[in-house]
Structure 1
Amino acid sequence: MDEERPTDLSALLPPEGPQAVPRGAAELDAGAWAAVLAPRLAQFAAVARHEHMTRAALQLGVPQSTLSRAVARLEADLGVTLFARQGRTLRLTRAGRTFQQAAERALAEVERSAESVRLDADPGSGRIAFGFLHTLGPETVPALLRAFRADHPRVRFQLVQTYGEAMLERLRAGALDLCLTSPLPDDPDLVVRRLDEQRLRLVVPAAHRLAGRRRVRLAEAAADPFVTLEPGYGLRRITDALCAEAGFTPRIAFEGEEAETLRGLVAAGLGVALLPPPAVPRPGVAELDLTGGRAVRAIGVAWLDGQQDTAPVAAFKRFLLGRKGRLLPR
């Protein structure tokens, strides 16, 4: 029986000392070391735990000879002796103990990561990384999540609220599964579906000369200073484009990051702004419809072309696409 036969590694194990370093091993870079060592860590860890080749082979379900050769190759690649033979068992050397600690940490991290991605893909309780614009935060996104979670109560969301360009960067980097964005990008590496549109209004101070009107032409505000979002925000690009269509370049008094901050600055008399409807009406401003053109912004969902969706992401994508034409509060 194998259990009764001593494991003799003397012909397989390299001698200790500098001469044990195989040719070229010391010159491996970090990526090459990872490629060499990763497949062998579990084998080494099993032998290190048992300090017995036969028991480790039984645990792993591999022939003892295969495991012996794997350990010998690992020692040859590292250029050190990891085990010393002691009767029928093996004893970890000082180098072996050091390497065992690192191997166990690496294997534990792999286990944690594997469990994490498995849980993320679980249809009932997986995770969705979802991005959205600041202006969709107060009402639209909470209503969407509430409706979706009515049928998927255990699905977890990792939410990112930022401006359009930053969201698309995160989408390409794999940090987001889906995002709601505006204006709709036409990049070939993205899939974009239009879901709804939102009418923009000219927001003016309550005491403004146009405040008593219900509808105005955007050109009538050409002489006013504008408060806008910073360059890179989708609403800023729409504002610049609409002003250009109206025949003027807006004179910028302030550039910010939040639409409601802009609305507050309009109320303070700092300027006028093109904004979507507020979640809650703000005193001190008048919100005027625009005539003479379509002052709207399209809202759509985007994802990376060729992306393989997990079950929860696929379910949420179907949910969003099913909300076409009724994404936004009316």
Structure 2
Amino acid sequence: MVHEPRSQTGLSRNSDTEEIVALAELDPESWSAILAPRLAYFAAVARAEHVTRAAHQLQAPQSTVSRALVRLERDLGVDLFARHGRTVSLTAAGRTFLATVERALGEVERAAESVRADADPESGKVAFGFLHTMGSETVPSLIREFRADHPRVRFTLVQNYGEWMLEHLRSGELDLCLTSPVPDAPDLVARRLDEQRLRLVVPEDHRLATRKRIRLAEAADETFIMLEPGYGLRRITDDLCAEAGFRPRIAFEGEEAETLRGLVAVGLGVALLPPPAVPRKGVVELTVTGQRAVREIGVAWLKDHPDTPPVAAFKRFLLTRKGRLLSFSPAGV
């Protein structure tokens, strides 16, 4: 009877020819797929200096641990252990390898703890994006109300423009976002929650400042201050001006609505903006008539993407705010 060769510890060397051929053909960058499942076994045996005790600690069959070690040494092409009867000790190569393996396993453990913590129903995390104009009043009030029932849920808050947030939804960096216009894309789910009336903002000494209402066409000859292309409000403004029969003459482009309002206040032009959280001196805000000058606010998330419990809870909360999302705003809607 022919027996397979055995190591000094009696660990069986199952020389599976097909596996050896497959390993030989692997790109070195793919070795992690072969080595990774065996690293925890290696670290446990290195700490215990005994295969049986390590297997008991791991709650794994001794034969499974033994085979994993033999294959690990064979795949690396080095001896990681010196054998002393029923005990083992690390070789110089084994000590070098163990130092890196323990760091890697520690990182994996920390990553596992982190994702488990983020998914915890009571104290998990929500990555939430929203428009700059919603940062001073709307979002703080929403989170305060939500945390009345979920006091330990944590938030990562990100302010940016709509298209940026949608890309970060797609990449998985955001769970939910409040944006405008409400997106219509096959890979996203979006629900309209509320709308804001847009106002024509003019300097307080402007020729139109004594008016309360205005048709946008009456501002066709004005110099406009707008958000940069790519912002949802910029697209809405361009569309409303086109509907009113003119193409606006643009003097300044910016990234934040209150900065635009400040430029209006010093007489550099007019702007079509949502109402401010706090009224600003130096400007008059006129109601636009003759067309539906509004921006819709919606919540969006990635289609078919599973929610953690805290994300699901916050999503349900936002959906219950339909028609009331901005109801607490001191400037109104």
TM-score under structure 1 normalisation?
0.92
- State the 1:320 CA deviation: 0.5
* Structure 1: distance between partners of 2:324 and 2:67: 64
- State the 1:7 CA deviation: 6.7
Q: Determine if the alignment matches structure 1 residue 74 to structure 2 residue 75.
A: no
2:325 aligns with 327
For structure 1, the residue ranges without an aligned partner over 5 or more in a row are 1-5, 15-21
Asked if structure 2 preserves the Cα contact closer than 8 Å seen for 1:13 and 1:81, the reply is: no
* Structure 2: distance between partners of 1:7 and 1:38: 24
Runs of 4 or more, structure 1, over 3 Å off, are 9-14, 22-31
The one-character-per-residue Cα deviations of 1:157-184 (angstroms, maximum 9, x if unpaired) are: 0101001011001100001110000001
Asked if structure 2 preserves the Cα contact closer than 8 Å seen for 1:126 and 1:155, the reply is: yes
Matched AA of 2:168: R
The one-character-per-residue Cα deviations of 1:298-330 (angstroms, maximum 9, x if unpaired) are: 000000000111111111111100000000123
- State the 1:118 CA deviation: 1.0
1:144 aligns with 142
The equivalent position to 1:159 in structure 2, one of 154, 157, 160, is 157
* Structure 1: distance between partners of 2:10 and 2:299: 61
The one-character-per-residue Cα deviations of 1:221-261 (angstroms, maximum 9, x if unpaired) are: 11111111111111111111111111111111111111000
* Structure 2: distance between partners of 1:76 and 1:23: 13
Matched AA of 1:79: G
1:121 aligns with 119
1:301 aligns with 299
* Structure 1: distance between partners of 2:201 and 2:24: 68
1:111 aligns with 109
Q: Which moved more, 1:236-245 or 1:54-63?
A: 54-63
The residue matched to 1:282 in structure 2 has which SS? coil
Asked if structure 2 preserves the Cα contact closer than 8 Å seen for 1:7 and 1:89, the reply is: no
1:8 aligns with 9
The equivalent position to 1:281 in structure 2, one of 279, 282, 289, is 279
1:17 aligns with none
For structure 2, the residue ranges without an aligned partner over 5 or more in a row are 1-6
- State the 1:88 CA deviation: 3.0
Call closer, same or farther: CA 1:284–1:100 in 2, change over 3 Å.
same
Please provide the CA RMSD for this pair. Answer: 1.8
* Structure 2: distance between partners of 1:74 and 1:161: 48
- State the 1:11 CA deviation: 6.6
Asked if structure 1 preserves the Cα contact closer than 8 Å seen for 2:127 and 2:173, the reply is: yes
* Structure 2: distance between partners of 1:140 and 1:286: 23
- State the 1:74 CA deviation: 0.7
Asked if structure 1 preserves the Cα contact closer than 8 Å seen for 2:11 and 2:66, the reply is: no
* Structure 2: distance between partners of 1:31 and 1:314: 37
* Structure 2: distance between partners of 1:161 and 1:222: 32
Correspondence 1:1-330 to 2 at 5 A: 8-9=9-10, 12=13, 25=23, 28-29=26-27, 31-328=29-326, 329=329, 330=332
* Structure 2: distance between partners of 1:284 and 1:10: 84
- State the 1:9 CA deviation: 4.3
* Structure 1: distance between partners of 2:166 and 2:12: 58
Matched AA of 1:255: E
* Structure 2: distance between partners of 1:187 and 1:140: 25
User: When the two structures are aligned, how many residues end up with a matched partner?
Assistant: 318
* Structure 2: distance between partners of 1:13 and 1:90: 20
* Structure 2: distance between partners of 1:84 and 1:316: 56
The one-character-per-residue Cα deviations of 1:81-113 (angstroms, maximum 9, x if unpaired) are: 111113432111111111111111111111111
* Structure 1: distance between partners of 2:92 and 2:239: 69
Matched AA of 1:312: P
The residue matched to 1:326 in structure 2 has which SS? coil
* Structure 2: distance between partners of 1:214 and 1:30: 72
